[in-house]
Amino acid sequence: MKKMVIVGIALILATLVVSSPALAAIEVEGDAYVGYYDKYLWRGFDLSGGTPVVQGGVDLSAKGFTLSYWTNIQTKDDVVLGNNVSGGDATETDVILDYTFSPTEMLSVSIGTIWYALDGAADTKEAYLGLALDTILEPSLTVYYDYDQADENALFYAASIGHSIELNDALGLSVGALVSYNDESDYAVGSYSDWHNYELSASVDYAVTDQLSVSPSFLFSEGISDEAKEAIDSEMVAGVSVTLTF
């Protein structure tokens, strides 16, 4: 029921944005996507017990604001984590509200909030602030603050770089690297302040049409500090997604 309420809220807001006469002059852009991955990996944590998942969502953007809906669906029973999760269950649903603007030509700033609706655990919410530079390697820094369930400092930092190469008119290659630092985000990550994990990623984007693309991807994650290595293992995740833009 909780998931249905969230879906209903997202669909109602999307309908209002698209159909309201008062907003008819606002240009709305967006995308819808679905992907299949061999596990659900989040901040280095395997949240699907090593079993495959289907993930999908919708993004709607207008005037710098973006409303996003995302969900993770287990494809097999989770016997590793013991969460009584069966194949076909939606284990997590997120609703995200973001506002992004550019105070200068090279800098973009993103502020927003994420509502995590979880099965088998208490829901929580994070606010975030992100900074990104439009320059070589596209460096970015995002700070997350759990203002709901965490009891300590509740901060999590992620810094990343990336580079994209256009191989031809329809094919592109993207590579990236990320490093994270946990500052006592005790509910979602752990009760410690130290480096958490690093990630190396690569993806290939193939444009089937101007609006439809297919993207196989690969990501490797490993803990950095001793505390992180006690909480997470070295992990790899591979998958493929299909995206429709409109």
Q: Please give the CATH number for the structural domain made up of 2-245.
A: 2.40.160.40
Give the tens place of pLDDT for each residue, 27-59.
899 999 999 999 999 999 999 999 999 999 999
When pLDDT is cut at 50, 70 and 90, the band that residue 10 belongs to is low
User: Please, where are the H alpha helices in 36-167?
Assistant: none
pLDDT digits 0-9 by tens, 176-185: 999 999 999 9
Question: Are the C-beta atoms of residues 225 and 185 closer than 8 Å to each other?
Answer: no
pLDDT at residue number 26: 79
How many alpha carbons fall within 13 Å on the CB side of residue 176? 21
Query: What are the pLDDT digits (tens) for 100-154?
Result: 999 999 999 999 999 999 998 999 999 999 999 999 999 999 999 999 999 999 9
Q: Report the candidate in 91, 125, 98, 114 with the shortest Cα–Cα distance to residue 2.
A: 91
Cβ within 8 Å of residue 20, ≥6 positions away: none
Tell me the per-residue pLDDT of 189-199, one tens digit each, with 9 for 90 and over.
999 999 999 99
For residue 161, give the nearest of 181, 144, 177 by alpha carbon. Answer: 177
Question: What residue type is assigned to position 121 of the chain?
Answer: A
